[in-house]
Structure 1
């Protein structure tokens, strides 16, 4: 698999775009009561699946590097992986939504779906192909049981 951009870097780019959109187009921003509290809640909710996923990977002693899924030694299907095949990316999505609320840009309506599309096409789908090669039928069965995002 030839992945070039680590997902955390994709998040940083998307957050930077959200900040830039709010800075460059201040007329396209919004404010509402409790906005920053909601952003903080979403931020911390985004950390939960990331931490749980990392702990599960460490417990199973398999790679957490999303750039080399072919080095996976164990198919992780328990814990948070019973809910989502990609809880780390789901956590990143929550962090992006939190940043979008914090920076208040309506243009986030474009950035968030672009982030989801990019991760799905250039990270998740190639990962799935690698994991099919490594784990075969077991991964196919897992894919039928658990959704890609949620």
Structure 2
């Protein structure tokens, strides 16, 4: 099953689909009483958005600066192993940024069921995107990638 689904759905599209599903869930069930005061809720949303922009922007810039492919659909085309910037703390800062966007959206929607979106996003990525990417990068970069995986966590 993983073979034909591996690296087929671009993660930004997956994030959009999850976000759409979250909105559908929030629209069909009434909002639960706000667990956070409005000021704290707004601060949390803004913090998540800021983290998302920093992660996404710096990760994309690291790939552009090193002149390697940014396409998540063809990890085997990577020309260099990027390990600087946020890649020192997470092997997947781009996906972590998308997760922060989905979490901000869930907080904005104010519906606990909306948290199913970020959960689905992480589960799908771990199985059908990150695992195949890691196999391709291990085949491409060998022991240097294996050492990087031992030093740096997949998410955080």
Structure 1 length as normaliser, TM-score? 0.93
1:20 has 2:24 as partner: yes
Distance 1:28 1:17, change over 3 A: farther
RMSD: 1.5
2:155 is paired with a residue whose SS is: coil
From 52, 77, 83, the equivalent of 1:71 is 77
1:40 has 2:31 as partner: no
Per the alignment, residue 59 of structure 2 pairs with 53
How far 1:31 moved relative to its partner?
5.5
In structure 2, runs of 5+ residues without a counterpart are: none
8 Å CA contact 1:22–1:28 kept in 2: the answer is no
Deviates more, 1:22-31 or 1:69-78: 22-31
From 76, 84, 87, the equivalent of 1:81 is 87
2:112 is paired with a residue whose SS is: coil
Structure 2 length as normaliser, TM-score? 0.90
